Amino acid sequence: MSGGRARSAVVVGAGLAGLTAAEGLAARGVEVTVLEARERVGGRTRGIEVEPGAWIDAGAAYLGARHTELLNLIKELNLHTTPTTMLGASRFALGAGAGDGEHATRDGRFPPLNAVALGELFDHLAELTAAVRPEAPWLTPDAARLDALTAAEWAEHSLAHPDARLFFPLFLGEMMAADPADVSVLHMAFYLRSGGGLRYLNAFEGGAQQDRVAGGAHLLCERLAARLTARHRGTLRLGEAVRAVTQDADGVTVHTERGAAYRADTAVVALPPLLADALDLGPEPPARRAGGRTGRGCAVKVNLVYPSPLWREHGLSGWSVNAEGPLLSTVDDSPAGAAVGVLTGFVTGAEAHRYAALTPREQREAALAQAARLFPMLPEPVGFHVTDWVNDPYSKGCYAALFGPGDWLRLGPTLTAPHGRVHWAGTETSTEFFGLLEGAIRSGHRAVAQILDGGV
């Protein structure tokens, strides 16, 4: 590329990846404009105020000790973490396998299913995970076969015991917000390896779900945006959905749906793959950002607010795993120091699509009926919030895009390759902690390094 060092940049997307890139460039003297389609910053983080001054996460939330860039950012922004509370027994509704009735109460998080069968399941997954090349999944031994095979097909051939077959989609929904039919085996193995491995991703204490950002993860982007505009004099435009990026020998022009045009030396597109792929990038478009089988992360998050975390008084942690929806799992997400208790339900995989299609009244009735069966001591909640990420037009799913059969071999080699003066960011462009907050930050740092090291 020609043109020398970038003096100006337009960043498309004010999520964590985009704002990380924007502030990184601005801190090095680049004039930055950030364009965001929503009327808020934060991307797939979102906060809900459940009582004055007490916020909960309706989107991305959890972190662990290995998320070093995220922890550094939390410290820089004068934020703090709070532990995810997991004291007490768990509840399971797994049908006949539950052992002592439809609803079982057990210490710890291990489900009341056949331990040998689940051990074999995790051994199979560990073997796949260990073999993948996280820095270049498409170069993994036997990559073509693994990328052509769905996780559902793999399970059909590999899992003999009914308890393993029952638990596998629940596990994949919790880890990846995916239905096994929607992802390739290669993507499943990569995702688990990229996030730190099976045990780390699945763990609260000592794992990837150990802590949350005190006050809500949305504060990361709010404070980054404030620092960008105040300290570095960057520009942030909300409500500016981008439709096209054109470029010539001298720079780029970013066109918005409102008819505005922003000129700069370079651009960073920090959007999920399905949105990035829909942009008009000129007569010579780049390699595809998404394929025909690339799917939306299948997650709907349900937050039930109670006068206090009453389940704790009954020796329960708030954690549950359920074979039937809508709430396939629940966790205690009560804000630290607040009077209220918050039970967060995760609706994932195929169940997310079914639940998202219900009316608001039907969603409330279904979630409350299930919560009452799992935790019969609970009164009617004082607050009820549903965040539908499946149908969010500016996210196209959450936790992250789902790479289907053929995607890694087709998309992987060009995942981070610039398209002329257009660079890419977003958690789906990070082979480290793909799909997580940590991956978003690392992708923003990579985009900055590419621009500064490569001229534009």
Average pLDDT over residues 121-127: 97
Tell me what pLDDT residue 99 has: 38
In DSSP terms, which residues pair with 344 in a beta bridge? 303, 331
pLDDT band for position 96 (cuts 50, 70, 90): low
Strand order of the β-sheet with 31-36 is 235-238, 31-36, 8-12, 266-269, 422-424
| Residue corresponding to tokens 């789906």 | 428
Distance from the Cα of residue 84 to its chain's centroid = 17
Mean of pLDDT over the chain: 95
CA neighbours closer than 13 Å in the CB half-sphere of residue 75: 6
pLDDT band for position 97 (cuts 50, 70, 90): very low
Measured distance CA(15)–CA(75) in Å, rounded: 19
At 414-433, the pLDDT tens digits run 999 999 999 999 999 999 99
Q: Please list, in sequence order, all residues whose beta carbon lies within 8 angstroms of the beta carbon of residue 302, skipping any fewer than 6 positions away.
A: 326, 327, 344, 345, 346, 347, 363, 367, 384, 385, 386, 387
pTM of the entire predicted model: 0.95
CB 428 within 8 A of CB 272: yes
Find the helix or strand (DSSP H, E) in which 363 lies. helix 360-374
Domains and CATH numbers, the chain: 8-43+217-287+417-454 (3.50.50.60), 47-63+81-87+208-214+298-388 (3.90.660.10), 115-201 (1.10.405.10)
